[in-house]
Amino acid sequence: MEFINGVAANRIMWVSLLAWLVAQICKLLFHFLVDRRLDFTILKTSGGFPSSHTAIVCALAVEIGKTAGWASSVFAVAVVLALIVMYDAANVRWATGEHARAINRLLDMLLESDASTEWFGQKIPNAKLKEIMGHTPFEVFGGAILGIVIAILF
């Protein structure tokens, strides 16, 4: 029972998860405003505005700072973690999406130019790679602002 009470009272965790949830709902709403259709699959995909990964780690860092102190070592760890997540979202995962786009174009060209579905004895896959994996710097910035604001407000 102590475990359940501890988890239920863990403000840092709940505020961080709230930031993630709000970011996901914002993605759904922004997608609706752009495409004029409600697509709930947006809630389970990565990428888009704002970055929910960034929102959750920024809210986590701010909540830890508020709770443990801005000079605490645990706050420093949370800030470094947030920076790693934001760098990964905007650079590493963005590059992965760009690579997927290029590979998909190459596969399309191979399948269109050759009647054969084999290349060097290997079957050419017909499935597309997921292209939206990362975030633009703007999407990461939006997630950071959202996470910080939610942590400050709650």
Angle in degrees, 0-180, between the axes of helices 52-68 and 73-87, rounded to the nearest 10: 170
In contact, 59 and 147? CB cutoff 8 Å? yes
Tokens of 118: 């084999």
CA distance 49 to 56: 14
Res 15: pLDDT: 98
- Identity of the amino acid at 64: I
Given a cut of 70, the residues of the chain with pLDDT beneath it are 113-119, 124-127, 132-133
- If one counts the domains in the chain, the total is 1
Res 113: pLDDT: 66
Res 41: pLDDT: 84
Range of the domain at 27: 2-153
Look up the pTM and report it. 0.79
The widest CA-to-CA distance across the chain, in whole angstroms, is 66
